[in-house]
Amino acid sequence: MTIPVSNMVSVSIAIGATFPARKGFGTLNIVTAETGVIGVAERIRYYSNLDGVTADWPGTSEVVKAATAYFSQQPKPMKLKVSTRYPTDVAAQLRGGAVEDNEDNLALFTAISDGAFGLTIDGVSDVVSGLDFTGDVTFAEIATTLQTGVQAIASGGFAAATVTHDGTRFFINSGTVGGTSTIGFGLDAGIGTEISSLLEIRQGEGTKVDGVAAETITSSLNAIQNVDPDWYGLIFTKEIRDGFVVNGEDAVEAAADWCEARVKVFGNTSNDLDALDSVTSSDILSVLMAKNLRRTISTYSSSPGQYPSASVLGRAFTVNFNQPNSTLTLKFKQGPGITVEQLTQNEKAVLDSKRGNAFILVGASDMYSESRMANNTFFDEVHGIDWLENAIQTNVFGYLLTRTTKVPYTDKGVAALEQQVINALDEAVRNGFIAAGETIDGEFLANGYKTITVPVADINQSDKEGRLYPGLSFVALGAGAIHGAQINGIFER
């Protein structure tokens, strides 16, 4: 027997952890109560262009109208998500895996005259049997045969259950609705020809979700966030505007409050003429301003059928923070397809005082003005700070994660973390978010920022023992943006 080479030369290669990805700050989520496309088990769907949206949604849908406003911007944003909310009770749903509508798959069903599968609805288990598909010629007819078989059990959630096929997969919905409505995965029947795997409804093949009790806006957003938190901007289809109440909750206020507590921004649209009235203080713009909300940008529009907030966020979300000089202000931007408001100077002043914005006509040019959030901060500042916080967080965490050896609790280890912060701040300088200038204390920062570290020797012993370094900080100067100018001149003969 030969002696292995590893006895002489041993080689071991460690595979480092993957550096974590940064969050995206360019994805809008359109939340709608329109149903029939995105099931309750899916809840949210991703689109990269308008064609994807129109392939799923009817041309007359509000989702298509909002998405059209979003994707009409130049340059075009690249990411959109659409999610569903449920203001009324919804049934539990079993969503099968992919069973495409084609001749080969159809033939697998039409060869079966005694199909069967086990199913549990609302805690009651039974066997759906005697399924004869030999006379079916379409997947719609197969779904009808399945539905007839399920309803034949004639008890509890089985009696009114529905079965559909959307061209790609089967859906089985309980006949009951609300929070007590439940459904299980497909099971072996023990009789006839077992078809649960053919339907792709077994555990590991399909997905299921319990029924949903009628939701408030807050509970809808919580549920959507639990399914997919990877989006930044929020708007609703047009029913959620100006005082609309959903199950006892003021919808706009609830959405604004929800975003305020998270790293999200809410694009609110108001069609209320009181937004232009200086005497009125009960309109939604005045209410949001009084709450001093930093993450809500409101746009006034006299056209209830349009989506100016989708349009302006579409422009904002084209910013690529990785590119030089890529940051922008939303003031002066156009809204393709959005009606320009013919405001008087007084109406514009009132709108400004309520932290409202609009697409307006200035001279002969149409433009967005002023791009303020409800607390008077400009949108690009909120957007940029959110990106910078995440860039620094990801840089430092990624460095700690991907090191094959530890970062020592020494001044040298601190310097390594400081460098990760500097890398992110340098990016902010390149993309135009940070610029050179003076601090409020009169210190000139040539780089637009400075970092400060506390020597390890001065750190509290309890922090050292807990392996937490709290001594790294920075000061950064925002580049801001010029929104107007005053020019004085002297003319001499």
Cβ atoms of 171 and 95 within 8 Å: the answer is yes
Residue 6, pLDDT > 90, answer no
Q: In what order do the strands lie in the sheet with 207-209?
A: 162-165, 170-177, 91-95, 207-209
The pLDDT value given to residue 13: 79
What would the pLDDT profile of 386-421 be if each residue is shown by its tens digit? Answer: 999 999 999 999 999 999 899 999 999 999 999 999
The pLDDT value given to residue 277: 98
Helices (H), 57-168: 62-71, 103-110, 139-151
What would the pLDDT profile of 302-327 be if each residue is shown by its tens digit? Answer: 999 999 999 999 999 999 999 999 99
Instruction: Indicate the residue type of 87.
Output: P
Residue 8, pLDDT > 90, answer no
Cβ atoms of 217 and 251 within 8 Å: the answer is yes
Residues 212 and 83: their CA atoms lie apart, in Å, by: 15
Residue 57, pLDDT > 90, answer yes
The pLDDT value given to residue 250: 98
Residue 146, pLDDT > 80, answer yes
The pLDDT value given to residue 162: 97
- Spatial neighbors of 8 by CB under 8 A, at least 6 apart, are none
What would the pLDDT profile of 109-124 be if each residue is shown by its tens digit? Answer: 999 999 999 999 999 9
Percent of the chain with pLDDT over 70: 100
- Average pLDDT over all residues of the chain: 96
Domain ranges for the chain:
27-86+215-379, 91-209, 403-476
The pLDDT-based confidence of 22 (bands split at 50, 70, 90) is confident
The pLDDT value given to residue 440: 94
The pLDDT-based confidence of 35 (bands split at 50, 70, 90) is confident
Residue 14, pLDDT > 90, answer no
Mean pLDDT value of segment 219-223:
98
Residues 202 and 118: their CA atoms lie apart, in Å, by: 10
The pLDDT value given to residue 36: 76
Coil, strand or helix at 173: strand
- Spatial neighbors of 487 by CB under 8 A, at least 6 apart, are none
Tell me how crowded residue 114 is: count the other CB atoms within 10 A of its CB. Answer: 14
Mean pLDDT value of segment 451-479:
97
Residue 15, pLDDT > 80, answer no
- Looking at the DSSP bridge assignments, the partners of residue 476 are 449
Per-residue burial over 259-277, b if 16 or more Cβ lie within 10 Å, else e, is: bbeebbbbbbbbbbebbbe
The pLDDT value given to residue 7: 77
Nearest 5°: the CA angle 318, 321, 323 is 95
The pLDDT value given to residue 455: 97
